[in-house]
């Protein structure tokens, strides 16, 4: 996970800019993208494959709008697990189908003892609670405490600029 980040060369930057709004919607999307860039389809496919390989692109995929699909409750569950157990715990929790993001982050003692963050999405708060309960069972005594921070309001949500997309 630590290899040096891909340097953003011009061709990559242009590719990212050209896909900012997504992939062209047609039967041959990579050819259409190549046409936009004035490049060959072959070179575009090659570059995309390379970027998937080095992790610059996670995947080329559809991203559902949670909210529109009825997944209206989201809770950021946070857990205090011993540092030496944290990686194993993260792997187990990250694999759960209802967990979208799972990260290890620094504690801020004394007010913030939690180091494992797992974002849980569900149709309602009761379902989030049940899923958090499930995480608690899996972690067992490895969790020394947890909390769930429900989102109340989206204050800002923008796509990322330049060529950034998360």
Partner 1 sequence: MDELDRSIVNTLQDGLPLCEEPFAALAAALETDEQTIVSRLARMLDEGILSRFGPLYNAERMGGALSLCALSAAPEAFDAIAERVNAHPEVAHNYEREHALNMWFVLATEDADRIAQVVAEIEQETGCRVLQFPKQKEFFVGLKLEV
Closer by beta carbon to partner 1, 70 or else 136: 70
Beta bridge partners of 119: 76, 101
Which one of residues 91, 130, 133, 145 is an interface residue with partner 1 (CB under 8 A)? Answer: 91
- Give me the least distance between CB of 137 and partner 1, in Å please: 18
- Return the ∠ at Cα 160 (arms to 156 and 161), rounded to 5°: 120
Phi, psi of 114 (to 5 degrees): -90, 135
- Return the ∠ at Cα 18 (arms to 48 and 2), rounded to 5°: 45
Which one of residues 38, 64, 110, 140 is an interface residue with partner 1 (CB under 8 A)? Answer: 64
Q: Is 109 in the site for partner 1 (CB under 8 A)?
A: no
> CA–CA separation, 39 vs 46, rounded Å?
11
- Give me the least distance between CB of 83 and partner 1, in Å please: 10
Q: Is 97 in the site for partner 1 (CB under 8 A)?
A: yes
Q: Is 127 in the site for partner 1 (CB under 8 A)?
A: no
For residue 55, give the nearest of 101, 5, 9, 105 by alpha carbon. 5
Closer by beta carbon to partner 1, 27 or else 38: 27
Which one of residues 10, 38, 84, 106 is an interface residue with partner 1 (CB under 8 A)? Answer: 106
> Tokens 């759960």 correspond to what residue?
96
């Amino acid at each position: 996970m630590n290899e040096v980040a891909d340097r953003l060369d011009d061709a990559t930057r242009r590719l990212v800019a050209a896909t900012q709004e997504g992939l062209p919607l047609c039967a041959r999307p990579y050819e259409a993208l190549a046409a936009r860039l004035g490049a060959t389809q072959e070179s575009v496919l090659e570059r995309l494959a390379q970027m998937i390989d080095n992790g610059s692109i996670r995947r080329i995929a559809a991203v559902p709008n949670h909210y529109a699909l009825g997944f209206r409750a989201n809770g950021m569950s946070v857990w205090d697990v011993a540092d030496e157990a944290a990686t194993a715990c993260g792997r187990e929790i990250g694999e759960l189908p209802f967990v979208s993001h799972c990260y290890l982050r620094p504690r801020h003692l004394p007010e913030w003892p939690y180091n494992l963050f797992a974002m849980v999405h569900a149709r309602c708060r009761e379902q989030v609670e049940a899923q958090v309960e499930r995480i608690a069972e899996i972690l067992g005594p490895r969790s020394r405490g947890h909390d769930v921070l429900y989102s109340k309001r989206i204050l800002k949500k923008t796509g990322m600029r330049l060529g950034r997309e998360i």
